[in-house]
């Protein structure tokens, strides 16, 4: 069993507060418990690059929710925090992506797990490695650590550990 991991990202101010509120809402959900949190990392945008830098992190949760129920809960939190989906890969108050749900491989119209691009994204792999370096990613048969090792150096150098004291940009 790999555990259940959710990636969080935000690049609309107040970024730190959006992360904290998303964590609070996850942990206060009747069927979700946040068990571990990675450090927060600041990253450059991917895809649509004409936007502010992101704060990213990963959490490991326990839940009695099935994957699609968890997706609904995550999307509800995004809506509560004002998430707008107007530009693909565009600015967002908060983004919650289910990146792994135990050993499950899921492909539906609304949910793909493991997340289909997680193995290419240092901004997911770096914080995930803090929580689960030796977990094997279902369907890829590589550990998180192995996936990060083959991720491009350019991608990895753009993932910088962020501290709350870095609020000068907020």
Cα atoms in the 13 Å half-sphere on the side-chain side of 60: 16
As annotated, the active-site residues are 83, 92, 95, 97
Tell me the two tokens of residue 81: 């925090």
What sign has the CA pseudo-torsion 140, 144, 150, 156? positive
Distance of alpha carbon 29 from alpha carbon 43, whole angstroms:
28
* Max Cα distance, the chain (Å): 42
Distances (CA, A) of 127 to 66, 73, 86, 124: 24, 22, 27, 6
Closest CA relative to residue 47, chosen from 133, 136, 120, 156: 120
Distance of alpha carbon 119 from alpha carbon 3, whole angstroms:
17
Distance of alpha carbon 162 from alpha carbon 115, whole angstroms:
24
């Amino acid at each position: 069993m790999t555990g259940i991991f959710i990636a969080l990202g935000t690049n609309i101010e107040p970024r730190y507060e959006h992360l904290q509120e998303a964590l609070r809402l996850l942990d206060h959900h009747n069927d979700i418990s946040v068990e571990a949190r990675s450090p927060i990392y600041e990253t450059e945008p991917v895809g649509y690059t004409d936007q502010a830098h992101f704060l990213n992190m990963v959490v490991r949760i326990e839940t009695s929710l099935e994957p699609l129920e968890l997706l609904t809960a995550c999307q509800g939190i995004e809506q509560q925090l004002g998430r707008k989906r107007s530009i693909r890969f565009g600015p967002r108050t908060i983004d919650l992506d289910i990146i792994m749900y135990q050993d499950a491989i899921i492909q539906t119209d609304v949910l793909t797990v493991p997340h289909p691009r997680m193995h290419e994204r240092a901004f997911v792999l770096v914080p995930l490695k803090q929580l689960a370096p030796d977990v094997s990613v279902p369907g890829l048969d590589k550990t998180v650590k192995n996936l990060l090792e083959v991720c491009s150096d350019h991608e990895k150098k753009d993932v910088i550990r962020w501290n709350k004291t870095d609020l000068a940009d907020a």
